[in-house]
Chain A
Amino acid sequence: MTDAALPARDGASVWRRRALIAVPYLWLLVLFLAPFFIVLKISLSDTVIAQPPYEPVLDLANGWQGVKDWWAGLDLENYGLLFEDEIYWRSYLSSLKIAAISTFLALLIAYPMAYGMARAPKSLRPTLLMAVILPFWTSLLIRVYAWIGILNPEGLLNQLLLGVGLISEPLYIMNTETAVYIGIVYSYLPFMVLPLYSSLEKLDDTLLEAAADLGSPPWKSFWQITFPLSLPGVIAGCFLVFIPAVGEFVIPDLLGGSETLMIGKTLYNEFFLNRDWPVSSALAVLLLLVLVVPIALYNNIQARELEAAK
């Protein structure tokens, strides 16, 4: 630090710094924390056929008594329901399973892609990177709809396979769990490829030369050097796919069948079909609690990465 940087400690600039930090915190407060507390409150309320479809509603016109009534009307009943009715916990388990398997499949597909990109000539890499990001230019909804056209019994895939003569009857992939896996892996693949690519690209080639020099053939070098050094990318990619995939709604709704249970879909049904806001809010809060563990883990690992990079 030079002397010129020292005046930064005086009062005015401390306040300036605090003001600067306050902006993102305010953002989080207004756009994340406030809605979360609203959802939390609704999850503790009871369903009524009214507008809004829950009670109690805070009535400040009654003064302190209104606040007391409101508080007395809140209870954990909805959470109890989530544990009683098996559809809810089965939705959670099924979501976690589908997300975990999709994450693993995405890793299997993304690793060779990212590896190829990182090993491609430097001049070609921006193009390849662009190709990975390109799908984001179209809405997810449209891309998932496109898969319906591909996976339909009369869709492109079946027409192709029938035409070639590989199958004699159309495959029924549409509206099955397989279709959900295809959709999730397809949609979240870039989130896996990008962190993998960035950690593989940093890999120093001389490390592989050193490994070869010390007697390690290329395939052993991959498991001894390349893979362990790409682990930060693997971990980041897995979290980036797993966390949103658990709460995925659009893909199971469009591609999955009625037997595909996912928490996002259950939540949607409770909210829009049953108009049971309190139960669906409780579902959402519980989903958040379920995901807090991997999110906290992810943040922790990222922070350690940053620390190590210093």
Chain B
Amino acid sequence: MAQKPAQKALGPIRRSFAPWLDPSAVPLIRFEKVVKKFGDFTAVDDVSLDIHQREFFSLLGPSGCGKTTLMRMLAGFEQPTSGRILLAGQDLAGTPPYRRPVNMMFQSYALFPHMTVEQNVGFGLKQDGLPKPEIADRVKEMLKLVKLEPFATRKPHQLSGGQRQRVALARSLAKRPKVLLLDEPLGALDKKLREETQFELMDLQMELGLTFLIVTHDQEEAMTVSDRIGVMNHGKLVQVATPGDIYEQPNCRYVADFIGNINLFEGTVAGSGGGEVRISGEDPAGDFVAASDAGLEAGAKVTLAVRPEKMRISIEAPPADARNVLKGEVWDIAYMGDWTVVLVKIDGSEKVVRVSRANMTRTEAQPIAWDDRVHVWFAPDAGVVLTS
């Protein structure tokens, strides 16, 4: 599952900010072949990664994939077994956590229970030996930023979960760190508050011009906030790309399956040419055509991955030039409000294909019902051919 070298930004969202595409750009953080072992267990396995100034970078993966360990090594709480971590060109090895110019917002918030909100936020500044009036000013500024001014003299246990999260954020921002590390920062908040806070985090990052590194297992959160996402699995960095590319150009089955919903068709390469590859599918049996210029050899095992929203569905026969047509029966329908998801059981197969339709109008009758015979098809460029 090697990373593709210098991937082109093919994603649907155009970004003016993309220092990772500039070969002359000097990264702010550089992980060089970092390995971390706990006894026999390899938590982080040969990770190399560059993160640039002002980037909002997410480490995404299931629990136990090594993302938190990678972050804790940057904060200085764990030492790499081998490899180097550089911050602004300086090797961090041997620098204790309290001398590193990075600050972390902990998953549990780790607020000091015996201190007031003010004292919590000012803690880092006090350690730097700043004069008291300056600390007071900075604390005030931070509390204004997170809208907690009226709560300055409260203790953490007198605050709600959302307010505590803001205190933790203010505390980690107070020292204006070069890098802010966020460990599952929004995990404890309910959905609505979480979404609100995600946008606030993005605004804050832009306003302050800081570099954010966030660890999360929530793919929606990663997609929402990040400039780039690094997907991790079993200690390895599987793919690093923009949210758009992660979604549209996954480089392996794992990433395709982990992010969003996707239909996977197993098969072997039957032939290729003209920017297209012909795949003979296993289940359902049949031929697929997919756009690919990867130069795949005939007989190679591949997976064709197609997102549900890139599939078309109708009861009538598809247009004559439609390709990759499958027939089947409606198995299940889920009305989600913005989308309707239809599960179709493909004829002569165990495969259930997921198709989603945007509900464009309010009054449209749902044209497809349970047990309807339907056609499902997708364009050659709708699917991604995965070799691993």
**B: which residues have CB within 8 A of A?**
75-77, 96-99, 102-104, 106, 108, 110-114, 123-124, 127-128, 157, 171-172, 175
A214-B113 contact, Cβ under 8 Å, with A204-B108, A209-B97? no
Q: Across the interface, which residues of A come within 8 angstroms of B157, CB to CB?
A: 308
Near B by CB (< 8 A), chain A positions 200-243 give 204, 206-207, 209-217, 220, 224-225, 228-229
Q: Which of chain A's residues have a CB closer than 8 A to the CB of B106?
A: 206, 209-210
- Closest Cβ neighbor of A220 among chain B residues: B127
Q: Could you list 29 A-B pairs, sorted by A, with CB under 8 Å?
A: A204-B108, A204-B110, A206-B108, A207-B110, A209-B75, A209-B97, A209-B110, A210-B106, A210-B111, A210-B112, A212-B76, A212-B98, A213-B75, A213-B102, A213-B103, A214-B98, A214-B103, A214-B124, A214-B127, A214-B175, A215-B98, A215-B99, A215-B127, A216-B123, A217-B98, A224-B123, A225-B112, A229-B113, A308-B157
Given A212-B98, A213-B103, A213-B104: A206 touches B110 (CB 8 Å cut-off): yes
Which single residue of chain B is at the shortest CB-CB distance from A210? B110
**CB pair B123 A214 closer than 8 Å:** yes
A211 to B127, CA, bound (A): 9
A207 to B120, CA, bound (A): 11
Which residues on B sit within 8 Å (CB–CB) of A214? 98, 103, 123-124, 127, 171-172, 175
Please name all residues of chain A whose beta carbon is closer than 8 Å to the beta carbon of B175 when the two chains form the complex: 214-215
- Residue from A210, A211, A229 within 8 A of B114 (CB atoms): A229
Within the assembled complex, what's the spacing in Å between the Cα atoms of A210 and B72?
12
B147 to chain A, nearest CB (A): 22
Q: How far is the CA of A209 from the CA of B123 in the complex (A)?
A: 13
Q: How far is the CB of B380 from chain A (nearest CB, A)?
A: 51
Q: Count CB-based A-B contacts (< 8 Å).
A: 59
How far is it, in angstroms, between the C-alpha of A113 and the C-alpha of B2 when the chains are bound? 51
Given A206-B106, A209-B110, 15 additional A-B pairs, CB 8 A: A206-B110, A209-B75, A210-B106, A210-B112, A211-B123, A212-B96, A212-B98, A213-B102, A213-B104, A213-B172, A214-B103, A215-B99, A216-B123, A216-B127, A308-B157
> In whole angstroms, how far apart are the Cα atoms of A215 and B75 in the complex?
11
Task: For residue B328, give the distance in angstroms from its CB to the closest CB of chain A.
Answer: 49
Question: In whole Å, how far is A301's beta carbon from the nearest beta carbon of chain B?
Answer: 15
B77 to chain A, nearest CB (A): 6
Docked Cα-Cα span, A215 to B114, in Å, equals 18
A204 vs B171: C-alpha distance when bound (angstroms): 18
Task: Give B168's nearest chain A residue, CB to CB.
Answer: A210
A217 pairs with B96, CB closer than 8 A:
yes
Q: Which residues of B contact A209 (CB under 8 A)?
A: 75, 77, 97, 104, 106, 110
Name A's interface SS: helix
Q: A209-B77, A210-B106 are in contact. Are A216 and B112 (CB under 8 A)?
A: no
- Mark contacts of A26-63 with chain B using CB atoms, 8 A cut-off: 1 yes-contact digit, 0 otherwise: 00000000000000000000000000000000000000
B167 to chain A, nearest CB (A): 12
Q: Is the CB of A216 within 8 A of B110?
A: no
Q: Produce 1/0 per residue, A57-101, CB < 8 A to B.
A: 000000000000000000000000000000000000000000000
Contact partners of A216 in chain B: CB under 8 A: 98, 123, 127
Minimum CB–CB distance from B385 to chain A (whole Å) comes to 44
When chains A and B are docked, how far (Å) is the Cα of A222 from the Cα of B99? 17
CB-nearest residue of chain A relative to B124? A214
- The digit string for A132-169, where 1 denotes a CB below 8 A from any CB of B, is 00000000000000000000000000000000000000
A172 to B10 alpha-carbon distance, docked (Å): 89
Q: Which residues of A contact B171 (CB under 8 A)?
A: 214
Bound Cα distance A212, B112 (Å): 12
A212 touches B97 (CB 8 A): yes
Measured CA separation A25–B124 after assembly (Å): 51
Give the distance in Å from the alpha carbon of A228 to the alpha carbon of B155 in the complex.
Answer: 14
Q: Which residue of A lies closest to B108 (CB)?
A: A206
A213 to B171, CA, bound (A): 11
Determine the chain B residues whose CB is within 8 A of the CB of A308 once the complex forms: 157
Across the interface, which residues of B come within 8 angstroms of A229, CB to CB? 113-114
Contact B112 A213 (CB under 8 A): no
Find the B residue at minimum CB distance from A205. B110
Closest Cβ–Cβ distance, residue A185 to chain B (whole Å): 29
Chain B CB within 10 Å, residue with most, of A214, A216, A217: A214
Min CB gap A207→B, angstroms: 5
A213 to B123, CA, bound (A): 10
Complex Cα distance, B113 from A228, in Å, reads: 10
Assembled-state Cα–Cα distance A217/B103 (Å)? 14
Q: Shortest 7 CB-CB distances between A and B: which pairs?
A: A214-B124, A215-B127, A210-B110, A212-B97, A206-B110, A212-B98, A216-B127
**Complex CA distance for A213 and B97, rounded to whole angstroms:** 5
Least CB separation from A228: chain B residue = B114
